[in-house]
């Protein structure tokens, strides 16, 4: 059996606190340089890579002279803000050595729950990937306290996998993978090589965090795999210091624990859209647009819209109906109902002169559209 990473084009790689830090003494520059080299290799193979990296708090603790992890939430936030500078610096330098640019992206869970921010984050990340840049993501610890209490970037990695419909999520940690029990506590524990993402039996095996730096433990990784699978992404949990781990996974070697998603992207997206029974509004399409969507699998452009019904914001799920009123598709709109009324029946080249900005030449991009 070949690793699911071999076939994956778009991959999220998450490196945990316990891995990026030198036992709590700041960041492990040599290890980070090795991952950057491997990611450059993946890029050369044609894969798109997004990195989710922890380590800001650990680096901030070093820079601010904290011997112990502070318990005061605001001190932790201060550590994260200081340490993030170091994290950005080391990634920028390490990737630059391979002629790769990096981008800093700080997100909260709430950002991804908000439809408009979700669409914006998605467009920014896909644009960065198109421009050949490696986005480096972390939690925006300055503006939230819940996430800092749980300190869990596994969930963030899964949310990003959902956001840009990645093919795979690789969670690198300080263990070889998921064991039948916490290997720090049970020496008889055995490595689980394959599993089904979302299998409840896996949750029972996963205990809490092993170190004082990592907070989530194995359970958040198992739950992250379950979440990633909802958009069709497979998850691999592997030891981050394993020699050439990323390169070997990409060449098909099975390393660590592989948790396979049971549904493909399209089914997952259809399911997600189907869950939105109450859509915010409707757009009525002309016959040409109906044909573009149903026959040619194209995006919906404003020119094909003849009427807008209801009020909706950017990022809302709306229904596309034909002239007879039959629902033919559902999708996330790039423009509000008021904006859509102004640009409907118009070529996309006129959007900027009408609205003063362009969120996209499509009203609904085909990646955000499902036919009914
Ligand atoms: N069943 C299990 N298999 C492997 N590790 C487990 C298991 N249950 C608990 N753990 C613990 O989870 C730790 C990894 O989680 P964590 O410390 O949060 O790492 P990270 O910072 O990489 O997210 C391991 O060091 C291990 O002690
Ligand atoms: N965002 C914080 C904490 C994230 C965190 O610890 O997550 P994890 O590596 O999943 O245990 C940081 O960069 O230090």
Q: pLDDT digit of tens for each residue in the chain (372 aa)? A: 688 999 999 999 999 988 898 776 689 999 999 999 999 999 999 999 999 999 999 999 999 999 999 999 999 999 999 999 999 999 999 999 999 999 999 999 888 888 888 889 999 999 999 999 999 999 999 998 887 776 789 999 999 999 999 999 999 999 999 999 999 889 999 999 999 999 999 998 886 555 444 456 899 999 999 999 999 999 999 999 999 999 999 999 999 999 999 988 777 777 777 666 677 899 999 999 999 999 999 999 999 999 999 999 998 889 999 999 999 999 989 999 999 999 999 999 999 999 999 999 999 999 889 888
Chain centroid offset of residue 211 CA: 25
**Residue nearest (by alpha carbon) to ligand 1 atom 25:** 210
Instruction: Please give the distance, rounded to the nearest whole angstrom, from the Cα atom of residue 218 to the centre of ligand 2.
Output: 13
Lining ligand 2 with CB less than 6 A are: 16-17, 54-58, 80, 138-139, 141, 151-154, 214-216
| Nearest ligand to residue 141 Cα | 2
Contact 348, 300 (CB under 8 A): no
With the CA atoms of 342, 347, 349 and 355 taken in that order, what torsion angle do they form, in degrees rounded to the nearest 10?
A: 0
Domain 4-265, CATH number (from 3.40.50.300, 3.40.1160.10, 3.30.70.60, 2.170.130.10)? 3.40.1160.10
Q: What letter would DSSP give residue 118?
A: H
| Nearest ligand to residue 84 Cα | 2
Pairing of β 48-53 and β 168-173: unpaired
pLDDT at 289 (0 to 100): 97
Q: Point out the annotated binding site for ATP.
A: 14, 173-174
Instruction: Please give the distance, rounded to the nearest whole angstrom, from the Cα atom of residue 342 to the centre of ligand 1.
Output: 53
Probe ligand 1: pick from 203, 217, 220, 239, max atoms within 8 Å of CB? 217
Contact 338, 312 (CB under 8 A): no
Domain borders along the chain are: 4-265, 276-371
Extract the tokens encoding 340. Answer: 């859509």
Contact 114, 314 (CB under 8 A): no
CA-based end-to-end distance of the chain: 36
Extract the tokens encoding 350. Answer: 């006129």
CATH 3.30.460.80 fits 276-371, yes or no: no
Contact 309, 283 (CB under 8 A): yes
DSSP H or E segment with residue 117: helix 115-130
| Nearest ligand to residue 138 Cα | 2
Instruction: Please give the distance, rounded to the nearest whole angstrom, from the Cα atom of residue 134 to the centre of ligand 2.
Output: 19
In CATH terms, are 4-265 and 276-371 the same topology? no
């Amino acid at each position: 059996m070949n690793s699911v990473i071999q076939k994956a084009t778009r991959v999220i790689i998450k490196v945990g606190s316990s891995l990026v830090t030198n036992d709590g003494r700041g960041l492990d520059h040599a290890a980070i340089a090795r991952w950057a080299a491997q990611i450059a290799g993946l890029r050369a193979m044609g894969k798109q890579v997004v990195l989710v990296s922890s380590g800001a708090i650990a680096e901030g603790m070093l820079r601010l002279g904290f011997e112990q992890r502070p318990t005061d939430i605001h001190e932790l936030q201060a550590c994260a803000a200081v340490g993030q500078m170091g994290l950005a610096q080391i990634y920028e330098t390490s990737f630059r050595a391979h002629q790769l640019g990096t981008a800093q992206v700080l997100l909260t869970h709430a950002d991804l729950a908000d439809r408009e921010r979700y669409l914006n984050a998605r467009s920014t990340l896909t644009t960065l990937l198109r421009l050949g840049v490696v986005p480096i993501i972390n939690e925006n610890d300055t503006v939230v306290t819940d996430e800092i209490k749980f300190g869990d970037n596994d969930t963030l990695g899964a949310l990003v996998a959902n956001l840009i419909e990645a093919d795979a999520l690789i969670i690198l940690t300080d263990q070889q993978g998921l064991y039948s029990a916490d290997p720090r506590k049970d020496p008889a524990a055995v490595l689980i090589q394959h599993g089904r993402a979302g299998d409840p039996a896996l949750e029972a095996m996963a205990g809490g965090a092993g170190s004082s730096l990592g907070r989530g433990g194995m359970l958040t990784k198992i739950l992250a795999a379950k979440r990633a699978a909802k958009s069709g992404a497979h998850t691999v949990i592997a030891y981050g210091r394993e020699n050439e781990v990323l390169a070997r996974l990409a060449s098909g070697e099975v390393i660590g624990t592989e948790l396979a998603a049971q549904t493909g992207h399209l089914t997952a997206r259809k399911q997600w859209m189907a869950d939105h029974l109450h859509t915010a509004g409707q757009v009525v399409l002309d016959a040409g647009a109906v044909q573009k969507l149903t026959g040619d699998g194209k995006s919906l452009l404003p020119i094909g819209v003849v009427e807008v019904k209801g009020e909706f914001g950017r990022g809302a799920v709306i229904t596309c109906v034909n002239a007879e009123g039959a629902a033919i598709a559902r999708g996330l709109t790039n423009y509000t109902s008021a904006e859509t009324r102004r640009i409907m029946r118009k070529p996309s080249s006129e959007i900027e002169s009408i609205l003063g900005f362009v969120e996209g030449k499509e009203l609904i991009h085909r990646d955000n559209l499902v036919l009914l």
